[in-house]
Amino acid sequence: MLISKVVAEGIRDGRITAQYRRWDAPRVKPGSTQLTAAGVVRFTRVAKVADVDRISDRAARAAGMKDAAALRRALTPKPDRKPSERGSKGGHTVYRINLEWAGEDPRIALRAQVPTRDELTEIAGRLDRLDRRPSGPWTRDILEWIRDNPQVVSKELAAIRGVELLPMKVDIRKLKALGLTISHDVGYELSPRGAAYLDSLPPR
């Protein structure tokens, strides 16, 4: 389920307690969680909306919208757009998803932790699995590029590396999930955990 940074921050501070989506079937389950730009969000209830016209202004504001009219406009399917499983305008049924902030992004604490010897071995094993793709190993190269080019705009970093931008961002997100990199408004840098991992490797 796509949750924008603005909405995620509203969930974090308690202003937003619900979201509405058009789906053919629910895409989240009560009790499940999702990592967002503002931390972990927990879904507490998923229910069909029988009549969109009866959504109140108060309910719309709880979803981060100005009023019910604005919410209804956002939920109106566009005739020239194919239904999307992830978007708010896809599918035939409107659902209300109640949610709450469940805690900080666990990667924040992880990336500050200098790994133990056993953790270094575990990181190496996970990166080795990521390196097993037809195009060949890539994880050490990109970690070293980020180390040597901190907070460089991603387009420039992709050009420096001679790779496509979007696949590179996907790769960096995989490294971020391991606590090895930090994303900034502009570019990236190695986390203390990522720097310690690189320092543990033999020179090449």
CA 172/CA 167 separation, integer angstroms: 9
pLDDT tens, position by position, 49-71: 999 999 999 999 999 999 999 99
- Which pairs from 84-87 meet CB under 8 Å and 24+ separation? 85/23, 85/24, 85/27, 86/1, 86/2, 86/27, 87/2, 87/22
pLDDT tens, position by position, 158-179: 898 888 999 999 999 999 989 9
pLDDT tens, position by position, 27-50: 999 999 999 989 999 999 999 999
pTM over 0.85: no
CA–chain centroid gap for 22, Å, is: 20
